[in-house]
Amino acid sequence: MSALLPAAHLYSWAAIWGGSGYYSYVASPIAFKTLSRKEFGALQNKVFPHFFLAQTLAPLVIGATAPYLLGTGALATLGVAFIGGAANKWWLLPVCKDIKEKRFILEDAGQTDSEEHKRLTKEFGKMHGLSLAFNMVNFLALTGYGYILLKGLIRK
């Protein structure tokens, strides 16, 4: 077997694990503290479609490039990571974006104290909380896969 497949496998896992961890737990909190809420939302609207697509596709690439037979634990962690990314990409991202846009319209009209704005803010909080949970699930599943990968590397 050429070194290309194992290298693609390792680099795919390392890129998505490191990138997800850094963006989620370092870069995003810094941006949140630095930018206005609207600027932060605009940034996330540009980043998240690509970020969640990467979180969805990477487990498939990792699985397809595995230079060994994937056991139940590996398949489970990659499957869970895929679900975490896909839920954010195709369900929660569009829902959160829609809620934010409706809320911004009310804010621009000076209706921040309206019942509708309060309802949208509460709904956004729920959906954003779910998104954070799915993001954490993705990262923890990829961390679990990293442990499985490490065990395989140490045995060799």
39-54: per-residue pLDDT in tens? Answer: 999 999 999 999 999 9
pTM greater than 0.85: yes
Residue 156, pLDDT score: 58
Report how many domains make up the chain: 1
Is the pLDDT reported for residue 69 higher than 70? yes
Span 62-87, average pLDDT = 97
Res. 155 pLDDT band, cuts 50 70 90: confident
Q: How many angstroms separate the CA atoms of 129 and 140, rounded?
A: 16
> Which one, of 124, 94, 91, lies nearest residue 107 by Cα?
124
Is the pLDDT reported for residue 133 higher than 70? yes
Its domain, for residue 39, covers 3-155
Please, what's the largest Cα pairwise distance for the chain?
Answer: 64
Q: How many angstroms separate the CA atoms of 123 and 129, rounded?
A: 10
Res. 2 pLDDT band, cuts 50 70 90: confident
> Which one, of 83, 20, 94, lies nearest residue 56 by Cα?
83
Is the pLDDT reported for residue 152 higher than 90? no
